[in-house]
Structure 1
C-alpha cells in the first residue's frame, strides 16, 4: 500500500463508526498560523462565560501563545495537568474592568463528550525556522490529532516496504530542527506506523529520544498488534486516545520527563479499578524491571480519586522501602493532582490515619501491624480507638511485593488482628507484586 493510500485509510478509520474524530478538510496542509487561529476559536468558545462574552484580543491571545510555547515536553505535560487535572493559562485583559481571567485549555478527565473536541489534520506544514540551516524549506506532518485545537498526538506514516525505524529517525530529526515548537510545543505522543508495523512513544527533548521507550501495542491476551489500522482502532479511538495523553501518562519530576505507560500497565490499572468497584481483592503480577512502581503509583492515584474510596494505604514489606517508595511516588506526584504522605513511625501512622486529606499514605506492614495490635489491646480493655473507626471506612490496601508479605507470618498475624478490629479480613486488598510470571490480574 502506498503511503498516501495508507494515510487516507488511517483517517477513515479515525473518523468513522463510533469515533468522535472529525477530519478538518479545510485545514489540509495547515500552517502554524492557521492552527493557532483554530485553537483561538476553541479557546474562546470553551471559555465564553469566563470571557464574559468578550473574545480574546490579539494582545491577549499573544499571552496565551507565550504560555503555551514551553521549552520542553516535561513543561508541556505540567501545563496540561496543572490544577486538578485541568490545563490552565492566566490572561490579563486589555480592558482593566475585565481584570485577569484564568482560561481552561485541557481537561484530563473530560473524555468522550463534554467540552473536549477531537479533530484530524492531514499534511500540516511546518515552515523552515528563521536562521535555520534546513535543506528543505518546510516539513509536512502526515497526521496531527488535535484535542481542543491543541496538537497533542502526531502520526508519522510509512509505506509497507519502509522500515519503521525510519519514521522514528525522521521525528528525531524534526525535533532537532526545532519543528515541535510554537503551536506544537504541547505534543505529548508520537505514533509511527506502516500497514504492518506500529509503535508509540512519548515526546522528549531533541537529544533525549530513546528507542528503548518505543512501545508496541498488545491486546489484553498479550497478542501483538502490529497492523496500523488495528492499532488505530484500538488505541487512537475516543476515549482511549484522550486517556493516553492524560490518565496514562506520568510526569517524572526527578528525570524532568514525560512517561507513557505500556499496554500491560494500562490493562493492570483498569483491572484493579474494576476489582475495587466490585469490592474484590486481587493480584497484579509484574516481571522484574517492567515498571511495577509506575503501575503502583498510577493505580493508587486513580483509587484515591475515586469518590467511593476514603483512603488509600500503600504497604511495603520492609522498613527500608518506606523512604524509597515515597520518594518514587513523590517524584511522579509532584506535578499531579494528588499528594503522597509517609508515616515516620507507628504513632505518626496512627495520627495520619485520622486525617481526611485524600492523600496516598505509604507505610510498612510492620508499622500497620503494630498499630492494629495496639488497637486490639485497647479494645480488649474496653477502650474505644479512633484507629478502629478508620479501618471501618472504605480503605484500599495496596501490598507491595505480595509474594513475600502476603503469605508471611506477619501478614497472617495482621489479618487475624484486623478481623478482630474491623470484623472483616478484606476491606478490598489489591496487591501489586513482582514475580517471574507474566503481567496479569487474577
Structure 2
C-alpha cells in the first residue's frame, strides 16, 4: 500500500471497478460554475436529485401496459418533496413506493377502471435496470450547495450515498463533517437513500442515514460470513472499500439488499442488514428453496449472541413473504417468556406483521386454530407443547407451508416437547437459530440430536468473526486458581450430546452419573468453590477499573452456592477495605 491514498484515487478506483467488473455506467457531473446545467445529468435545476429522463425511460420500459400519462402521475408521486414529513417518514414512504410499486388507477380500453402498480425498479431482472455511478454532482440546498463524492443511481433514483476521505483522515470524519452536514443542507437527497457508505480505503463503514456513527459497520466478507479475515492486512493494503463493492454492488446483490434487507424500527430508526446477516439469511433462503429435497430439515443458523439474530429472523420472514408465492406461516418457538415477547415486539415494531396477522396462543387448542386460519406469524413457547405422556400428541396441522424457527434450539427442544412439536406439525419446515455453538468433539462437524432434527449448519458467524469485524470487544482469558486435572482422555462425543440436552431422559442421566460423576464432583467440591469465590472478591476491587462480571457455573445448585460464597467473602473484604 502506498503511504498515502488520496480521495480522488479512491473515487476513481471505485468507479473503475463498478464500471469494468459489474457493468455500471459512469458519469462525472462536475462543473466549475455551480449554475451551469450542462453537467450531463439532464436536470432542469441543480436542486433536483432525480435524473428525470432516465427515470421516465426506464419506468416506461418496465411497465409496458400502463399508459404514459399514468406513469407520469406515478413519477410525480414518487418525486414529491414531502417537506412537511420528518426525514425518516419521508424516506420510509419513498422506500415503500420503490420496493412495492406505486398504486395507480386509470380507465382501461374497455371503459372500466383499472387498478395497477407502477414499478420503478425491476428487482427480478437486473438487466432491465440502469445502474449509474455518478461523481461530483452539485446539489443546491436552500442555503448552501453540496457535492457528494459518489452517488449510485438505479433508474435515475439516487439510492446509495458514498463519501470518501484521504487515507490519512479518519473515516469518522466522513460522518461528522460530510454526511451530517449533507443531511441538513440537501435533505431531499436522503428521501431516496437506501444506505450510506463511508471510506478512506483503509477502513470502510456501512449504515443507514439515521444511524449514529457507532452503528455503522464493516463489510469485510464478500461471499462467506465464516471467512477468516485479517483486518490489519486489509487496512495495510487499502482494500476495505473494494471488499464492500464486491460484497454488495454486483447488480443482483444490490437489488436484493435494497428490496429485502432494509427495515424501519418504530418509525424512528432505519436498519440495514449487516454483512453476516445478508449472507446468512440468503443461505437460509437457498436452503428453503430445497425444502422438498431436505424433507423439512432446513438447517442450523448459528450467529453468535449480540449479532442481531432476531432481526435475521425478520429479514428471512420478509424475504419469504415478499418473494415466494403461497400462504406461508412462520412459527417462532422459544423457551422463555421474555425472549418470546422481545421477538414478537421486534416483528411488530418493524411492520413485518400486524397484530391482527400475528398470534400468541395460550395452549395447543388455540395453536391448532391459528394454524388452520393461516396466520402469518405464530409466536409460542416450546412448553406449550406439553401433553399427557400416556396420550398421543394431537395433530395441529398437516400444512407443508408452515416454517418453524426454533430459537436456541439445543436447549430444551429435543425431549418430549420437541417430539410433540414434530407430531403436531409433521410436514412443517424447520430452521434452528442459535447464538451458541452446538457442542462437538474437537473440530468435527457436530452430530447428535440437533443434527438429527434440523440437519447441518447453513450459516456460521462465531464470536471470533464478530471480533474481527469490530462488532464485539475481544475476550481475554486469564488463567486463575484453582486448577483441575481431568485425566479422562476418553471424554467422548457422547458426553457433548448429553450436555446438549437440558431435559435428560433417565437413560442419559444414568450414563452421566456413572461415567462422568467423578469429574463433575471435583468441579463442584466445596473447597474449590471457596477458593474461586475468595479469588473473585480479591480480584474485582484491585483490577483498576469499573465493570460488571458474570459467573457461569455447572448447574443451578452450584450457582446458588457461588452466590452465597461470594457474598460471604465480599462482606469480609468490605471490613478490610474500611479498616474495621
CA offset at residue 54 of structure 1? Answer: 3.6
Question: Are residues 1:110 and 2:97 paired?
Answer: no
Residue in structure 1 matched with residue 368 of structure 2 by the alignment? 350
CA offset at residue 264 of structure 1? Answer: 1.4
Residue in structure 1 matched with residue 195 of structure 2 by the alignment? 189
Residue in structure 1 matched with residue 164 of structure 2 by the alignment? 157
Residue in structure 2 matched with residue 218 of structure 1 by the alignment? 220
CA offset at residue 68 of structure 1? Answer: 6.1
Residue in structure 2 matched with residue 365 of structure 1 by the alignment? 382
Residue in structure 2 matched with residue 2 of structure 1 by the alignment? 6
Q: Secondary structure at the match of 1:361?
A: strand
Question: Are residues 1:293 and 2:307 paired?
Answer: no
CA offset at residue 45 of structure 1? Answer: 1.7
Q: Higher RCO, 1 or 2 (CA under 8 Å, sep at least 6)?
A: 1
Residue in structure 2 matched with residue 382 of structure 1 by the alignment? none
Q: Within 1, Cα distance between the matches of 2:9 and 2:402?
A: 53
Contact 1:343 1:349 in 2 (8 A): yes
Q: Within 2, Cα distance between the matches of 1:60 and 1:311?
A: 33
Unaligned runs of 5+ in 2: 30-38, 439-458, 463-580
Q: Within 2, Cα distance between the matches of 1:418 and 1:436?
A: 23
Q: What are the residue-to-residue correspondences of 1:258-407 with 2, within 5 Å?
A: 258-278=270-290, 279=294, 280-304=297-321, 306-307=324-325, 310-334=328-352, 339-357=357-375, 359-370=376-387, 376=392, 387-390=396-399, 393-406=400-413
More strand by share: 1
Q: Within 2, Cα distance between the matches of 1:146 and 1:243?
A: 15
Structure 1 residues 144 and 429: CA distance shift in structure 2, 3 A = same
Q: Secondary structure at the match of 1:216?
A: coil
Once the two structures are superposed, residues 4-35 of structure 1 have per-residue CA deviations (whole angstroms, 9 ceiling, x without a partner) of: 23212211111123x24222457557734473
Structure 1 residues 48 and 351: CA distance shift in structure 2, 3 A = closer
Q: Within 2, Cα distance between the matches of 1:362 and 1:328?
A: 12
Q: Within 2, Cα distance between the matches of 1:101 and 1:71?
A: 29
CA offset at residue 413 of structure 1? Answer: 0.7
Q: Within 1, Cα distance between the matches of 2:68 and 2:74?
A: 14
Contact 1:164 1:192 in 2 (8 A): yes
Residue in structure 1 matched with residue 460 of structure 2 by the alignment? 440
Question: Are residues 1:22 and 2:25 paired?
Answer: yes
Contact 1:250 1:332 in 2 (8 A): yes
- Give the alignment partner of residue 37 of structure 1, picking from 47, 52, 71: 52
Q: Within 1, Cα distance between the matches of 2:321 and 2:69?
A: 39
- Give the alignment partner of residue 92 of structure 2, picking from 53, 73, 77: 77
Q: Within 1, Cα distance between the matches of 2:247 and 2:200?
A: 16
Residue in structure 1 matched with residue 101 of structure 2 by the alignment? 87
CA offset at residue 440 of structure 1? Answer: 1.3
Question: Are residues 1:145 and 2:152 paired?
Answer: yes
CA offset at residue 294 of structure 1? Answer: 0.5
Q: Within 2, Cα distance between the matches of 1:14 and 1:315?
A: 43
CA offset at residue 82 of structure 1? Answer: 5.0
Aligned residue pairs, count? 405
Contact 2:104 2:117 in 1 (8 A): yes
Q: Secondary structure at the match of 1:429?
A: strand
Unaligned runs of 5+ in 1: 379-384
Residue in structure 2 matched with residue 66 of structure 1 by the alignment? 80
Q: Secondary structure at the match of 2:167?
A: coil
Q: Within 2, Cα distance between the matches of 1:405 and 1:187?
A: 43
Q: Within 1, Cα distance between the matches of 2:49 and 2:264?
A: 30
Q: Within 1, Cα distance between the matches of 2:182 and 2:114?
A: 34
Q: Within 1, Cα distance between the matches of 2:16 and 2:410?
A: 47
Q: Within 2, Cα distance between the matches of 1:9 and 1:168?
A: 21
Contact 1:373 1:417 in 2 (8 A): no
Structure 1 residues 238 and 320: CA distance shift in structure 2, 3 A = same
Q: Within 2, Cα distance between the matches of 1:34 and 1:327?
A: 36
Q: Within 2, Cα distance between the matches of 1:428 and 1:63?
A: 41
Once the two structures are superposed, residues 261-282 of structure 1 have per-residue CA deviations (whole angstroms, 9 ceiling, x without a partner) of: 1111222212222333332343
Structure with larger Rg:
2
**What is the TM-score of this pair, normalised by structure 2?**
0.61
Residue in structure 1 matched with residue 523 of structure 2 by the alignment? none
Q: Within 1, Cα distance between the matches of 2:139 and 2:374?
A: 50
Structure 1 residues 322 and 81: CA distance shift in structure 2, 3 A = same
Once the two structures are superposed, residues 332-374 of structure 1 have per-residue CA deviations (whole angstroms, 9 ceiling, x without a partner) of: 13589x95333243322110111235x122221122444x989
Q: Within 1, Cα distance between the matches of 2:113 and 2:81?
A: 18
